[in-house]
């Protein structure tokens, strides 16, 4: 009996298995337009990332992009009737920017919470469902079945979705103002940027211009 007890006490105790690390979430805001400036080329879009640590230490990245534009043909700013829209991927959006000779600015990547990532994924699914149409002059949020690119992004945020007119300018200057609104609303965990995501998403191979919160972004007219 005493021998059994001694053996039991001397048996090694295995270390408890640590719980899996929780996912973390990020947002990158983009804005751009052609050089020289042509209003129909102005665009605001965003990419959201869920980074989940794996058992081997590697990160599994899930990506959602909201980039709302007409499904066919260029934007027609003064068109009064809506037309079918398409939620483009990040790669497709950069191809459109290159075709338009557009300069694209980037704010972030900033860390956000899980709720905002899930809201962005739900908004992307809504855009891709075929129930939403595109119009540059939308209904200022009154009719969510018709929206422009800025509302397509802000409708994914629990605070900014209430803004009738999120920005007064389009393209880079307007998106610069929108980035401030996100920061002031508490969307970002901090103003720290998580630059490792730039290479992970291939953004280091795109001609993007890094911007700071509060930075004035002038237009290029010629």
Residue 34 lies in a domain: yes
Residue 73 lies in a domain: yes
Residue 8 lies in a domain: no
Q: Which of 19, 86, 74, 87 is nearest to 48 (CA)?
A: 87
* Per-residue pLDDT tens over the stretch 68-125: 999 998 898 888 899 999 999 999 999 999 999 999 999 999 999 999 999 999 999 9
pTM of the model: 0.89
Find the mean pLDDT for residues 19-26. 86
Residue 172 lies in a domain: yes
Report the domain count for the chain: 1
pLDDT at 56: 79
Residue 39 lies in a domain: yes
Cα–Cα distance, 141 to 136 (Å, whole number):
12
Residue 7 lies in a domain: no
* Per-residue pLDDT tens over the stretch 163-193: 888 888 899 999 999 999 999 999 999 999 9
Residue 221 lies in a domain: no
Residue 14 lies in a domain: no
Contacts for 110 with CB less than 8 Å, ≥ 6 apart: 26, 27, 28, 182, 187, 188, 189, 190, 191, 192, 193, 194
For residue 12, pLDDT over 60 is answered with: no
Long-range pairs of 190-197 with CB within 8 A, sequence gap ≥ 24? 190/110, 190/111, 191/110, 192/110, 192/111, 193/108, 193/109, 193/110, 194/26, 194/108, 194/109, 194/110, 194/111, 195/109, 197/26, 197/28, 197/49, 197/51, 197/109
Could you tell me the residue range of the domain that residue 169 belongs to?
22-211
Q: How far is CA 69 from CA 122, 127, 135, 136, 193, in A?
A: 18, 10, 9, 9, 28
């Amino acid at each position: 009996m005493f021998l059994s007890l001694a053996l039991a006490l001397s048996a090694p105790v295995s270390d408890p298995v640590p719980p899996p690390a929780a996912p973390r979430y990020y947002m990158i805001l983009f804005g751009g337009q052609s050089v020289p400036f042509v209003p129909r080329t102005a665009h605001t879009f965003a990419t959201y990332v869920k980074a989940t640590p794996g058992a081997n230490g590697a990160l599994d990245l899930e990506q959602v992009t909201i980039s709302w534009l007409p499904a066919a043909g260029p934007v027609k700013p003064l068109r009064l009737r809506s037309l079918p829209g398409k939620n483009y991927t990040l790669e497709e959006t950069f191809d459109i920017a290159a075709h338009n000779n557009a300069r694209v600015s980037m704010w972030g990547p900033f860390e956000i919470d899980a709720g905002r990532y899930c809201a962005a994924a739900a908004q992307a699914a809504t855009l891709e469902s075929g129930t939403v149409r595109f119009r540059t002059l939308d209904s200022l949020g009154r009719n969510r079945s018709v929206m422009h690119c800025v509302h397509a992004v802000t409708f994914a945020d629990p605070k900014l979705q209430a803004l009738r007119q999120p920005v007064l300018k389009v393209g880079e200057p307007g998106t610069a103002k929108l980035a401030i609104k996100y920061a002031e609303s508490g969307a970002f965990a901090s103003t720290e940027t998580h630059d490792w995501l730039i290479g992970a998403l291939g953004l280091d191979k795109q001609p993007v211009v890094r911007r700071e919160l509060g930075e004035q972004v002038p237009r290029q007219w010629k």
